[in-house]
Structure formats: C-alpha cells, structure tokens
Amino acid sequence: MGKGGEMPPKLSKRLAPPSKPAAPPPSPLRSWLPLDPKYGIYAATWALSKATGAGSHLLATLAWATALRYAVNHAFVALSKADAFAEPRRIHRRNPPAAQLERELDWDGPVILSPLAFVVVDLATPWLRADRVAAFDGRCVFALFAAHYLAVEPVYYAFHVWLHREWAYKRSHGHHHSSVTTEAVSGTSHPLAESVAYLANFSLAFLVPAWCGRFSPLQIPLYFAWFDAMNCAGHCNFECFPRWCQAGVLKYYVYTSSYHSLHHTKYKWNYCLFCPFWDYLCGTAHPSSDALHAAVLARDRPKRPTDVVFLAHGHDIISLLTHTPFFSPFLTSRDHAPSWVSKAAYPVLYAYAEVCARLLPATVMQRYRYRGTEAATWCLPIAARFYLAKARRPAIARAVERAVDAAEAAGVKYVGLAALNKAEWLNGGGEAVRAYVEERGYGVKIVHGNALTAAAVLETVKRRALSTEETICVTGATAKIGRVLCVALARRGHRVVCLTTAPDRYAALVAAAGDAGFRLSRAATFADASAHCPKLWLLGKLAWEADVHAATRPGDVVVDYAVPHLVPRERARYDYVNGAALSYSAKDTDLTFCHDVAGTVPACLAAAICHAREGTGDHETGAVDVDSLDGWWRTATAHGFRLAHDRAF
C-alpha cells in the first residue's frame, strides 16, 4: 500500500473501472429466461437435499431466513436512497458510478450459496444433523455470538489483511475495493472464490455452537438478519450508529458506518468485520475514525446546497416503482424498460400509482454535482398518462406549485420543468408557474429549457449536412418547440411540411415566419406528409411507430424530441436519433439517474444547469425566441454538453 494507506498509483490504475464500460452481451440462455440463471442454485440446493436427505430438517428455516436476508438488504438500499432520511447523515456526498451499480448485481451471490453450504455440511459431517439439534434458548444465542466474536472476527481480520497483499488484491479483493463510495449491498460483492472463503469463515458462527451441542435452526435467521444489517450499515454511506455506540469500551466492539467507509478510502486501515478490537490491538485503526463519526453526526454540519432542481414526473405506471432508486439504484441508471414481473403486477402498480399521485409530494430521486454546480432531480409521483386527463390537471398544477414552494424553502435558485410539467395546456409553458413565483415574491427562477431543446434539434439538422433544398417534416409543428423549429428551418432555406390538424394555428405560424413563410406547407396526416418526400422527420409529438414506419422511406432520418420518445422497431428502415438528449463527460458529474436515455440528460435539464452556471437570474418560460437558438447552443457546449449522437456523424 502507498503512503498514508492510499492504493499505490500503479495498482489503482489497474483496478480502476473504465469510465464507460461496455455492457456484456446477454447469453442465449438469458435471452428467454425471466430470471438470472444464478437463481437456479436455489433449485439445485433443494434437489440435492431431497435426493440425499441432507439438510432436510433445515430447508424450511433456510427458505424464510433467506427471504429475510433479501428484505434486510433491500430495506437498507431503500433507506440509503431516501433523501430526507439519509442525506443529513450522508458520509460521502457523491454518487457511485453506474458501472459500480452494474458490477454489484452479484451482491446476492453469498445469499444464494449459503443454503447450499448448510446442505453440503450436513451431507459431509454429522455436526448439524437433526439428532444433534438443541432447543433454542439463551445459551444458543450466547454460543452464537461468542463464536462470532471469538472465532469469526479474528479469522476474518487475518484473512482480510492477507487479501490486501498485492497478489490477492489484484486477483480478487480489488473487485470489492473498486467501490470507493459504497452502496448498502457493496459488502457482499466479491468474486466467487472469495465469497466461498468468506462462507467458510462465517460458518464458524454455527459450527462452534454445534461442536458444543448448542446448534439450533433458529440461530440461522437470527445470525443472517444481524449479520446483513451490520454489513449493510458499514457500506450504506450514511451513518447508522449514534454517538453513544462509541462511548467507553463500546468503540472496541461496535464499528460505525464512518469507520468502515475509511477502509474503502484509506485501504490499509480498519480491516475488522464488525468489531474494531482487532484493529486497535494490531494498530490498524485509522486515527480519524472517531472524528469522522462525530463530524457526520454533528448538529452544525453544513447542509448540502442545491442550485438547480429538475422537476420531473413518472414516465409510466410501472416506472413509478421500478424506476426509483428506492427499488433499484441499478435500474434507475438504465432506460425505462418494464420487466415481465412488473407487467404481471400492473393492476397492483396502477393502484399504487393512484395513491402516490394523490398523497405524495415531489420526491428527491438523486442529488448530483455538475462541474461544481449542485443539482437534484425531483419527481412528482404522477404518471404521464394522468396528465392527459383534463379533470386531473388542476391538482397536478397545484402539485407543481407545491414543489416550487419546497424548492424556495430549500434555497434552490432554479427549477427546471421537465416534459409535461411545462405543457401548454397545464401552465402555458411555465408561464403560470412564473406568475405564481412572482406573486409570492420568491427568488427561485423557473426554466422550461425549450430554447436549448430546439437548438439541439436544429444542430442535429445542421450535422446531417442536408441541402437546404431538401424537405423536412415537423410533427407538433404549432407547439412551442415545433413552432420555432419550423421558422428557423424555413429561414435556413428548407421546405418544411408542418404536420398539424389546426389550420388556424398553422396560419399564425406562417405569419410568424414572415418572408420565409412561403416555404411552409401543411399536412394533416403522416400519409399526406409522406407525399412531399421529406428526407428528415422531426417528431415533436407522440406518434405511433407504425405510422412513422409507413410514412418513411429507407434512409430517411427521424429526429425525435417528443415525450415520451418513439421506440423504433428492430431493423427499422429509417435512422433514428433522439434529438433532445445531450451527452456529457463522466468526469463532469456523478449523475447516474437515467431521465430518459442512459448516459444523457434531457436538453431542458442541461438548460437549467446552464442558467445556474451562467448565473442569469432570469426565468425562461413561454414562447421561444428563434434568434436565441445559436447562442443557447454555444452556451451549452461551453459547459460541456454535446449531441448524444455526435459519433454518428
């Protein structure tokens, strides 16, 4: 190890995960199985027990004890992502990278293998046999925890110190230490061989009592629940242990969340499992352990400021549960993709969505920093389809206003409105929200970000290097973004087919285009638009993929900025581009929450961040100024945003 306990630079570079790891292709088996094949180990364990009789008296206890383990681990995951609960006692105020969340999907490997270990031990030895089981009482509990502290802890300490030698670290333990900012489940994310070694170590908690005639099946759920709670507490990145846990001699027997977090940042300190006694005895307890614990829990600890809040809403009914960090931090880093389980549970999830929409306020999905600007995504627990019901809109508008109230109270400077939270028919593109803010004398500014969205789409058109003589079709042509795009494209010299069913709004659009208005024409359907043979289609309104596919020709380009966006069919004959998604350097931010397209942010979120970084002090609501588009694109690129599809050009 390097000076001060840091990882040596050469070793650090070898262990560091790539900034954008390529996801491994799914195996043929996983392409049709509803669950990961690793869960087949449970079935194999049951089959082995039934075939041999080994562990049959333990199977029922192992089953519900294992379910308890999943419940404990998930409870810690949920608590660690509950901002109101965890943020005041957060240890590291940064998010782990998405690559870590994916890597740690192996966290339940030891959970899966534990029942198999019991069956194998019962098959190979007489120690856990039914005729040797003792009645569960206080002596069994004492024997269990005596075995843990007198056998498991010292063996673990010695083994863990060995794992930090370069040979073992490079070949195995570095996998675990790739997680510097840990998640609740990071503690059980290890390569297989290391997990098996740990299982052998932890088995002493049961084998020692068994050798003394004090083994009882009820020790299994007791130890599993306690062990997982302690393990999660050490990795969940919020302080779980109060100050009194470190009073007097307790500091030698009870570690803290802060204590173990130092092991992941200092590497050769704080090796213990849960009992720091061995660290203090061997001189490997980090000197700042107690000070960090006190600092995290200090009442005068400064709160993390928030410069920008991006106010989103639920993508669909299913996403209100499955696309939240409380359910799975990994899934929130991916595109919205319902599973077969969530589809089967749709009726229950619909009822859940109704309750959320009526009772819950905007919820913090994630805090993150962009080039030093503190940002957060809040989400109204309201599915997109609810916005389409006119009867619901007054209540939704009030929910947006309440979120703005909360942002003002939190000292937020800018609130960016996402998707339907700035719909014309909800609040006039944010105008009603701006009026609400000004009426109450709030300092927070409202940003719809439509100008940067239009600028990004226009930049996409420029990158395609289309001749100005070629025709472009714009759907949603009379909406705010579509309107400014039509005018800008017509001024650039393109023939623009405006797909709209509103002749009066189209007439106003032609008038707004001025001298370039003669380049605009109207189509009422995709079929009508297709007759003009456009090579580029700009989708600003939700469209059925079948209509788009039927209207386009091979080689046509579809640039989509609608919400929700189009999902092209496999082997679509048109080239699909999401024009409203902007990418950024992973070095600029610790954002992992996927707003729509993984690895990108919506242009309207980028606009809110740009407002904050520029310190404009202005609202951005209502109509978009067509003359501002080039300036907005220059501002966005200056702050590190770029087209997500740059590589395609």
- CB-side neighbour CA atoms (13 Å) of 502: 12
**CA–CA distance, 418 with 70 (Å, rounded to integer):** 34
List, for the chain, all residue ranges whose pLDDT scores fall below the cut of 70: 1-35, 465-466, 646-649
Q: Is 134 exposed, middle or buried (0-12, 13-18, 19+ CB in 10 A)?
A: middle
* The token pair that represents 610 in the structure block: 């740009």
CB contact burial 609-645 (16+ within 10 A = b; e otherwise): bbbbbeeeeebbbbebebebbeebbebbeebbbbbbb
**CA–CA distance, 298 with 290 (Å, rounded to integer):** 12
Q: Is 596 exposed, middle or buried (0-12, 13-18, 19+ CB in 10 A)?
A: buried
If we measure between CA atoms, which residue out of 11, 1, 16, 5 comes closest to residue 266? 5
Residue 378 φ/ψ, nearest 5 degrees: -105, 150
Q: How does DSSP assign 37-52, residue by residue?
A: GGGHHHHHHHHHHHHH
**CA–CA distance, 70 with 55 (Å, rounded to integer):** 21
Number of H helices, E strands in the chain: 30, 14
Helix (H, G, I), strand (E, B) or coil at 472: strand
The per-residue pLDDT for 543 is: 86
The per-residue pLDDT for 27 is: 41
The per-residue pLDDT for 644 is: 85
The answer to whether the pTM exceeds 0.85 is yes
Cβ proximity of 368 and 299 under 8 Å: no
**CA–CA distance, 362 with 313 (Å, rounded to integer):** 9
Which residues, 6+ apart, have CB-to-CB distance to 24 below 8 Å? none
The per-residue pLDDT for 31 is: 39
**CA–CA distance, 471 with 458 (Å, rounded to integer):** 14
Element (H, E) at 230: helix 219-235
Helical axes 603-614 vs 450-463, angle rounded to 10° = 120
Element (H, E) at 224: helix 219-235
Helix (H, G, I), strand (E, B) or coil at 179: coil
- CB-side neighbour CA atoms (13 Å) of 39: 8
pLDDT in tens, 140-184: 999 999 999 999 999 999 999 999 999 999 999 999 999 999 999
**Three-state SS sequence of 487-522:** HHHHHHCCEEEEECCCHHHHHHHHHHHHHHHHHEEE
* The token pair that represents 629 in the structure block: 């588009």
The per-residue pLDDT for 34 is: 57
Identify the bridge partners of residue 522 per DSSP, sorted by sequence position: 498
The per-residue pLDDT for 466 is: 66
